Amino acid sequence: MRIAIGGIANESCTFSPLLTTLEDFRLVRPGDRQFNELYPFLPAFPEADFFGTVTAKALPGGPVQARAYATIKAELLERLAALLPLDGIYLDMHGALFVKGMVDAEGDWISAIRELVGPDCLISASYDLHGNVSERIMGHLDIITGYRTAPHIDTMETRERAVTLLLRCLRENIRPCKAFVKIPVGLPGEKTSTEWEPGKSIYEAIPAEIDGDAVMDATIQVGYVWADEPRMTACAIALGKDEAAVSDAASRLAALYWQHRADFRFGVEALSIDECIRRAMAATVKPVLISDSGDNITAGGAGDVTAFLARALQHQPPDLVYASITDENAVQRCLNAGIGATLRLIIGGKLDNLNSQPLPITGTVEFIKPDKVNPQVLLNSNGIRVILTARRASFQRRQQFLDLNISPEDHQIIVVKIGYLVPELKAMAQLNSLALSPGAVNQDLLSLTFKRISRPCYPFDADMEWSPAVQLF
Ligand SMILES: [Zn+2]
């Protein structure tokens, strides 16, 4: 069996003015070391020959530049064309790609592939559960399967499942029927984690719907809410050999999600910036971790929104680490001045100039992490240690702090530009809260202006009524 592998993955926030460029994408091509890191399970399928094309992944951010998308798409199609004929294609996707000026970018990507390879080649895709799915996508894919955990700890498992399903369908000559139910609900990942209720029970209901035959797989997509475009919704999908069985499975999962729409809650205390700081200053344990959620880089925030830091400078907590503000100029000035220098800087508020403004700060350069790609600086302003990064960086691992000579356990308050805490940060936190701060991924959804999403949609139309409508593909 000849199987090609490719894909494009980006969570693109339409409320961010910071465009995602070609340089922001990591392009993995055949022969690259990262190819084996992305797909280490391939040797377990000796019956297939796998051919890499291009897999493009970028840190979540603003809309992707049209030119960048066109370049990556052209390379993918060229590499696929050179591999024809193919029995199957595995697409490693995310699902929340937004290309400036385009509606349903993944629909465009997948239909271009289908047009090239024709109707007989089976196409299987794996999705992040924060991906938005359209009818166009469902129409051109044969298999789609999504993560079942958030925070995502089943990424590899999901990729492998997409490949396993693809090879089985090829081997047994199955063209699965697919049931798709759009659920008109748009909620943030911070409320829909699978670590607590109701997300936990809803996702635990998925395996029970799969019998491996009539229903070969099922997926619930939470979707990505900061994408102001028509395909932004949650959905339930089931695929397998039996049309009635997949319809019933997708309907049941969709109804379950809808039934709990008003029960989704933040997993930690969600407070104003001021309340988060006050609570952390009064805490008797350390470290207290605070999520500066409106500028959550892992959801598409620009990484230079200064609102939280501005409030922290007002409150003057004796010991706070702020991770981080992206500001290339400020980093360069600190590098030039060197360790021990005291500088007056105006930081941040430039990448996301819609939701933030530059902030004046005086501090001493305490530590420098020299790095060719992304040098970082620790600036100490009266005990408030601000990590400045030349490029956008999301602090999710303890080692990133250690690299800056910060031992997290020794500090009272640590602020990260993230939403829910990833496992490593959670393990570190003795107490944590989520700050309802401004930014491109503001958790106060009703304060954002949506113009293009399909309405009605919960929670924007809170009183709407709905019952599942199955679309078969
Ligand atoms: Zn996700």
CA of 150 to the centre of ligand 1 (A): 7
394: helix, coil or strand? coil
Ligand 1: centre distance to CA 130 (Å): 5
C-alpha of residue 315 to centroid of ligand 1, in Å: 33
Q: How far is the CA of 193 from the centre of ligand 1 (A)?
A: 10
Q: State in Å: Cα 297 to ligand 1 middle.
A: 12
Cα of 10 from ligand 1 centre, angstroms = 10
Quote the ligand 1 centre to 191 CA distance (angstroms): 13
The alpha carbon of 164 and the centre of ligand 1 are apart by a number of angstroms equal to: 22
The token pair at 44 is 């377990």
Cα 360 to ligand 1 centre (Å):
34
Domain ranges of the chain: 2-264, 269-442
Distance from residue 88's CA to the centre of ligand 1 (Å): 26
User: Distance from the CA of 131 to the center of ligand 1, in angstroms?
Assistant: 7
Q: What is the pLDDT of residue 303?
A: 98
Cα(157) to ligand 1 centroid in Å equals: 15
Distance 74 CA to ligand 1 centre (A): 26
The Å distance, Cα 240 to ligand 1 centre, comes to: 25
Residue 82 alpha carbon to ligand 1 centre in Å? 32
Residues within 5 A (CB) of ion ligand 1: 128, 130
Ligand 1 centroid – CA 410 distance (Å)? 31
394 Cα to the center of ligand 1, angstroms: 14
Residue pointed to by tokens 């166009």: 136
CA of residue 438 to ligand 1 center, whole Å: 20
153 C-alpha to center of ligand 1: Å?
10
pLDDT for res 271: 97
Which pLDDT does position 159 carry in this prediction? 98
First to last CA, the chain: 25
**Residue 50 Cα to ligand 1 middle (Å):** 26
Q: If you measure from the C-alpha of residue 4 to the centroid of ligand 1, how many angstroms do you get, rounded to a whole number?
A: 24
Distance 336 CA to ligand 1 centre (A): 38
How many whole angstroms from 455 Cα to the centroid of ligand 1? 23
pLDDT of 39: 97
- For ligand 1, the distance from its centroid to the CA atom of residue 299, given in whole angstroms, is 8
Can you tell me whether residue 458 is helix, strand or coil? Answer: strand
- The pTM for the full model equals 0.94
pLDDT one digit per residue (tens) for the chain, 473 residues: 999 999 999 999 999 999 999 999 999 999 999 999 999 999 999 999 999 999 999 999 999 999 999 999 999 999 999 999 999 999 999 999 999 999 999 999 999 999 999 999 999 999 999 999 999 999 999 999 999 999 999 999 999 999 999 999 999 999 999 999 999 999 999 999 999 999 999 999 999 999 999 999 999 999 999 999 999 999 999 999 999 999 999 999 999 999 999 999 999 999 999 999 999 999 999 999 999 999 999 999 999 999 999 999 999 999 999 999 999 999 999 999 999 999 999 999 999 999 999 999 999 999 999 999 999 999 999 999 999 999 999 999 999 999 999 999 999 999 999 998 999 999 999 999 999 999 999 999 999 999 999 999 999 999 999 999 999 99
Centre of ligand 1 from the C-alpha of residue 362, in Å: 36
> Distance, CA 224 to ligand 1 centroid (Å)?
8
pLDDT given for residue 342 in this prediction: 98
Q: How many CB atoms lie within 10 A of CB 44?
A: 9
Distance 463 CA to ligand 1 centre (A): 28
Q: What is the pLDDT of residue 280?
A: 98
Rounded distance from Cα 127 to ligand 1 centre (Å): 9
What separation in Å is there between the alpha carbon of 95 and the centre of ligand 1? Answer: 9
Query: What confidence tens digit (pLDDT) does each residue in 163-214 have?
Result: 999 999 999 999 999 999 999 999 999 999 999 999 999 999 999 999 999 9
Give the pLDDT score at 348. Answer: 98
